[in-house]
Amino acid sequence: MNLILLRGGDWVERTDEEGDDQGGPAVTADAAPLSDARSSASEANSEPGGVCASTIQVAGPQAESVVVGVALLTDERRVTHIHTVIKAAVGDTLKVGEVDGLMGTAVVLAGSHESYRLRVRLSVLPPPPSPVTLVLALPERTVFTQVLHQVTVLGVKRVYVIGAAAVPASEWGAHQLQREAIAETLTLGLEQTIDTTMPRVYLRQDTARFVRSELPELLAESRGLMLARQPGETVQLDECHKTTEPTTLLVGPLANFTEVEEQRFQELGFKPVSFGPRALQVTAAVHALVGRMTL
């Protein structure tokens, strides 16, 4: 845990002030049609059974704003980490950030194995997001958690999880797809990478509906790249270099999309990319592709 993430319920006192600690443009949330509720809890979307780990739309922290206040941490995970790993004492300074807000520092006012009271000052913008939106055919449940953690660390802020012919219907009932499990994975990723902007995760079991109604909108605002079904038969990785251009990256399941599925995605505008003769597993492929375009 490289960053202590604060949520709304942690604040005992909180004040937003004007400051000149840092210049530059503010990082704002994307223009996706998300809800306006500023909450760390997940909310159901319009598709039955679908959830978002953080379906919120916020304007983003302002470059010249400063947040000061007092926070009280009482949950076991964060308190145990501060108490037994960091071994923070009164007067020590911790690196903290507010979910979907600014980052900064906190001075320990009081602490024990049960709770920590912190004086907080936030004035630093989170790092810029990756330009990549990931559209991922639902992989095996443990692989899903690994991929979600990886892309969170790499700065991806939108992930659409879809079905495919090779995805068993039973996988949609996995514990790893429950909103609490997704939120935990995202939080751990942000804490590792020192970021506060919570990714948005959309579960789209009705793939046909997603392809009809949402995917064209994504491609209207970004280029589309798709991991090829047969390695070596399409363009190489030259298209996947570091970029600021919005990119929708489509990755199929371990057994790959069918030829019919690939043809449909190409008709929509996805350009196939390939690792050449090497066939990688989903976790390695996503990490390599997103990493090339982000780092």
Contact 275, 237 (CB under 8 A): yes
Q: What single-letter DSSP state applies at residue 46?
A: S
Q: How far apart are CA 107 and CA 121, in angstroms?
A: 9
Determine the pLDDT at residue 36: 30
Q: Taking the model in full, what pTM does it have?
A: 0.84
Q: How far apart are CA 63 and CA 122, in angstroms?
A: 11
Q: How far apart are CA 110 and CA 115, in angstroms?
A: 8
Q: Which tokens belong to 70?
A: 């007092």
The phi, psi pair for 261, rounded to 5°, reads: -65, -45
Encoded amino acid at 249, one letter: L
Determine the pLDDT at residue 21: 41
Determine the pLDDT at residue 239: 65
Supply the Cα-derived Rg of the chain in whole angstroms. 20
Contact 13, 144 (CB under 8 A): no
Determine the pLDDT at residue 279: 75
Residue located via tokens 């399409």: 234
pLDDT tens string, the chain, 295 residues long: the values are 999 999 999 999 999 987 544 333 222 223 333 323 223 333 334 343 334 443 333 345 666 689 999 999 999 999 999 999 999 999 999 999 999 999 999 999 999 999 999 999 999 999 999 999 999 999 999 999 999 999 999 999 999 999 999 999 999 999 999 999 999 999 999 999 999 999 999 999 999 999 999 999 999 999 999 987 655 455 556 667 788 899 999 999 886 888 899 899 999 999 988 777 777 889 998 998 899 898 8
